[in-house]
Structure formats: C-alpha cells, structure tokens
A and B are shown apart, each in its own frame.
Chain A
Amino acid sequence: MIQLEHISKRFGRRLAVQDLSLEVPRGEIYGLLGHNGAGKSTAIGIMLGQVWPSGGRVRICGHEVTRDRGRALSKVGAIFESPAFYDYLSGWRNLEILSSYTRPTPPGRIREIIEWVGLSGREHSKVRTYSHGMRARLALAQTLLPEPELLILDEPSDGLDPEGIHEMRQTILRLHREMGLTILLSSHFLNEVEQLCGRIAVLSQGKKVFEGSLAETRHRESRVRLDTPDFAGAAGQLRAAGLIRDAVPDGNILLLNGGVETHQVVRFLVERGFAVNGIAREQRTLEDFYLSLMETERGGKRPVGGAAAWPAN
C-alpha cells in the first residue's frame, strides 16, 4: 500500500529525511517511531503529497504521489496530531466539506460513520463546542469518509486523556479487524505501538535505523537475570570466557553474546563453583529496544538494563 524508495527531503541546509525506503503491505498496522524532529511528519507529508521530496519515489496504493496524487490518495484517510476543523461550522458540515474533497458522500454514509464513532446527537452542534475527545472522534469520522483502504495516523492519541488513548487504541484495532484497513501509525506512545503494530520502522535524524517485526525487537538481544550470591565474580568469569557482552549489577542483568543459551551459562558457572539460584530470560519491551537503539545512534554505550538504567537527559 505504501512504498517509499530512497526518499530524501532537504529544508535549506537541513536534511530532514535521508534515503528513506520502506514498504507497508496491505492489511498491516505499521508503526513509525522516532524522536521529535526525526522526520516522521515530513515522511508522512511526503506520502500525502504535501511535502515535495528532494529525491526518491513515493507510491501509495500503486500510484506515484508526485505525479498522480488524485489516484494515489483516493483511498486514503489521514489524522494529524491536533486535528483542525472549521470551528464555526457544525460537525456534520465539516464532514461534508472534508469528505467532498475526495468525492461527495451521501448523507446516509455520513450518518453511519457518525454513529460508528459515537458522535450521534452532537453532529449538528458547532465544532467549537466539542470536547477534545469529541474532536478526536470527528477526526476519525472524517478519516473514514468516504471509504478509505489506507489510514495514515500521525500521533492520533496526542492530547487525549488515558481513557481517550485507550478508546483510540481499541478503535484502531476495530478498524483493522472489522474493515481490514491498512494503517500507518506514527506515535510517541511506545506501548500503544507495541500493542497495535505488527512491524515498525524507527527513524533517527531523518534516517531509518531499524525496520522489522515487533518480535525482532524483543529477541534482538538476549538478556537474562541471574540470581547468584557473587554476581560480580560470576559476571567477570563469564565475560572472560566470552559468553556475555556486558553486565549490570543493578538488577543482576547479563547481556549474552550471540548464540549463547542460558543452560551454557548455568553449566559454566556451576562447573566453576558458583551457586546459581535462578536464571530467567528477560522479555525486552519496545521501550527498552527503542532507547537502546537511540543511544546507539547517538554513539553512546548500549544499555542493558532497560529504561530504568538510563540517566535523565
């Protein structure tokens, strides 16, 4: 559904996006992560034909955006961080106006979508009277009009309260499950991405630094928690034997070298007289993975202890 091939974008001297390639297949929920200014919104702008790329090719739904924007976006819906509306018009009128830029939508379809997002009864009130949550629902409604196959969501939960965030998450899942939509989700909420997305790409300073499935992020590094009375001694011997790359005494975490399994570690330690009370593989969260990746990109030391091991910036 989305194909970016070697996209770059320069704003003056600043290179906002560098040689970005990614592919989002039909039916997937794909996460786009990155720090502020990483180039996520610019990449989304390029996908929607709002930002002209300095180089590369963008194809949406099989059509090149820069040459055939009309066809490329005919089946696309988008939500931006803090969605904007004509506050002096009613919700209904806003939906009518925005959807007509794709194609005129019959009132029956507008009513159906209003009911789906739970705005019934307030559709004829002026948007300025809407709460933040209602505006988010209206944004979702306009995205679903007329009938998109691809949704591009740029920080859709931004500014919502915890209930609103939960509701938005459930809605995205419903859209994927019930309507079979392909969704590109750019978000700062890592747990949201973790719960929704099958694959992710991480951008840092305009470059893609990771692309893969969530399973890959969990198993990219083997971390184990070792329960032994002499953690420092055990870690020293394991490091000398080349079985681990690093150790964090706070939490008794070991970072195993590639191909090393926990039973090898236990056998090694027991043979050398260390008492091993327990060993458990640690499940890495997306947050751990993301922070580790960002630190690596910044040229710092790779953390092994998760978010808690990080000093505040």
Chain B
Amino acid sequence: MFYHPLRNELLKLFGKKRTYIGFGAFLLGQNAMLLAFRFTRWQEHMERLLRGNGYLAEEYVSALTVAVVMLIPQVILLMPLYAALVGGDLVAKEAEDGTLRMILARPISRFRLLLAKWVAGIIFSASLVLVLGVTALIFARIWFPWRGMFVFAPGMVFNVFSPADGLKLYVWSHLLMTLNASVILALAFMFSCFNMKPAAATILALSYLFVNLVVEGIPFFEAYHEWLLPYHFRCWLLVYADPIAWDRIIGSVVVLVAANLTAFLIGQAAFQARDIKS
C-alpha cells in the first residue's frame, strides 16, 4: 500500500523540468570549478602546497583530488539551496496548485501521503548526491589522470591516499553528504507542511541554516557548536582525516538522522492539524 504513493511522488518529482534544471546547474557549476582549477593559479597553488609538505605534486593532482575540490563549494552553496527548493515544494506547492485537495479527496491518510513525500525526498537527495559525485569524477577524469588522492580542508583534513583508498573514501563521504542533503530537504519539507507558500518554506529553511552558520562563527558560542547543524554537516570531510574520527562521525550521523526525523514529525503534526482549503 506504500508502493503506489511513493511511486507517485517520484513520478511527480522526476517528471518536472525544474528537477533537471537543478541538475544542469550543478553540472555547469562543476565545469566552471574545473576550468578555474585547470586554467588559473589554483592548480599551481595546490602543487606548491603538496611539494612544501614533501609530496610529489604529479602523483596527487589527480581526478579524485580535483573531484573533491569541485565538490566543496557545491556542497556549501548549491546543494543546500537546491535541496531546500525541492523540500519547500513538496507539500506547499501542491497546496498552492490545488492538487493536494485532489489527492485528499481520496481515501489516502495524511500520514501515509507525507511519509511517501518524505521518503521520496530522501531518494531525491541520494540521487542528487550520486549525480553530483559521479559527474564530478567523470569531468575531473577528462582533464586529470587517475592517481593518488589529496584532500585539504583547513583546520580539519590534510591527507593523501592511494587511488583505491581514495575512491572508497569518496563513496563514504557521499553517503554522508546524502544525509546532509536529506536533512536540509526535511527542514524545508517541515516548513512546507505548515500553511505557507513554497518560497516561504524554502527561505525559512535556508534562514535557519544561515542563522546556524552565523551563530557558529561567533566566538561566544564556541562551546555550543555541537548544537548547530553545520558542525555535523562537516562530517563528510572527516572520513578523509587520519585517523578517522569515527566517534565524531557516528555522533554527527545520529544527530543528523534525529534532526531529519524530528523535522518529519513536526511536519506531520502540523499537517495533521491543518485544514486543507482552496
């Protein structure tokens, strides 16, 4: 009985042109990053950094290294924006268009409908991150050789890996990024369950994340970082650290899963209580 509502949500989500426009924006962004890396002093700077730390630059300026370099700005800027856009649409857009009334004239329960939408959102997040990861690797491979991996995130990671280990960690980091995307999507989804416009749901979710970021940057709140989502969102980068801080990663995963579930439940409660009117 859950298969059909979920299938419907996926058909609706992937039947929209807007979905693919978003994917297209990611591809453009990735290529812009790639070209900037290849044809500016960015690559030189990285080579100098590697040499300065006793590594052979030719060994580590590779497809895997560049794929991660391409990902960082996308994960910080484009992914939250896009996940929040889609999440904000999930319920509020249907309410605005009137299709929600058409659905709720049918015997499906509100709980099951929202569950299907939420699961479809998670599947969408996974597909978004999958496409992001695979295309980054493919585009990077066109310009750079398949060699060792170098990951550098100031204050968090400075590490090199063999191509096989690098690829394994690349997959792991994408699994964690899926969780990040689904939390952002769930936040917008939660707001979208209240009686508001889709754009308002998206803006509220992004504002919440922005406030988290701002608060995180204020020294007074240093002791409270663990209460803020961006701190946990960074766990995808930690898989590249040596040694891998599994306790910190597992802690962040638990917090993110809990945040996702909480957003879903708050959304459910709001949606159950509300009147659906034209």
Which chain A residues have a beta carbon within 8 Å of chain B's beta carbons? 11, 41-42, 45, 48-52, 69-74, 76-78, 80-86, 88-89, 93, 97-98, 100-102, 104, 142, 152
Contact = CB atoms under 8 A, between A and B. Distances in A.
Contacts of B101: 50, 80, 84
A84 B98 contact: yes
A69 B107 contact: yes
A7 B101 CA distance: 21
B11 interface: yes
A24 to B, nearest CB: 16
Interface centre among A70, A77, A84, A88 (most CB of B within 10 A): A84
Given A80-B101, A84-B98, A98 B106 contact: yes
B109 A70 contact: yes
A65 B8 CA distance: 24
Interface in B229-261: none
A102 B277 contact: no
If over half of B's interface residues share one DSSP class (helix, strand or loop), that class is named, otherwise mixed; here it is: helix
A109 B202 CA distance: 40
Given A80-B102, A84-B98, A101 B107 contact: yes
A85 B16 CA distance: 13
A101 B2 CA distance: 10
Given A50-B276, A77-B105, 14 more contacts: A11-B275, A41-B278, A45-B276, A49-B104, A50-B277, A51-B277, A73-B107, A74-B107, A83-B102, A85-B99, A100-B5, A101-B5, A102-B107, A152-B105
B106 A50 contact: no
17 contacts: A11-B275, A41-B277, A51-B275, A72-B107, A73-B105, A74-B107, A80-B102, A81-B278, A86-B99, A93-B15, A97-B12, A98-B103, A100-B4, A100-B5, A101-B8, A102-B107, A102-B108
A78 B105 contact: yes
Contacts of B107: 69-74, 76, 101-102
Contact of B17 (A52, A88, A100): A88
Nearest to A48: B105
Given A70-B107, A74-B107, A86-B15, A45 B275 contact: yes
A246 B244 CA distance: 95
A77 B97 CA distance: 19
B11 A89 contact: yes
Contacts of B113: 101
B105 A89 contact: no
Interface string B263-278: 0000000000101111
A76 B105 CA distance: 8
Contacts of B17: 88
Contacts of A81: 278
Interface residues of B, number: 27
Closest 4 CB pairs of A and B: A84-B98, A101-B106, A78-B105, A73-B107
A84 B99 contact: yes
A70 to B, nearest CB: 4
Contacts of A101: 4-5, 8, 103, 106-108, 113
Interface centre among B7, B11, B107 (most CB of A within 10 A): B107
Contacts of A93: 11, 15
Contacts of B4: 100-101, 104
B99 A52 contact: no
B275 to A, nearest CB: 4
Contacts of A70: 107-109
Given A84-B101, A101-B8, A101-B103, A69 B275 contact: no
Contacts of B278: 41, 80-81
Contacts of B277: 41-42, 45, 50-51
Nearest to A70: B107
Contacts of A85: 99, 102
Contacts of B98: 80, 82-84
Nearest to B96: A84
Interface centre among A73, A86, A142 (most CB of B within 10 A): A86
Interface centre among A42, A45, A77 (most CB of B within 10 A): A45
Contacts of A41: 277-278
A50 B104 contact: yes
Nearest to B105: A78
A68 to B, nearest CB: 9
Nearest to B12: A86
Contacts of B276: 45, 50-51
B275 A52 contact: yes
Interface in B1-53: 4-5, 7-8, 11-12, 15-17
A90 to B, nearest CB: 9
Nearest to B7: A100
A73 B4 CA distance: 18
A44 to B, nearest CB: 9
Contact of A88 (B5, B15, B103, B104): B15
A71 B103 CA distance: 15
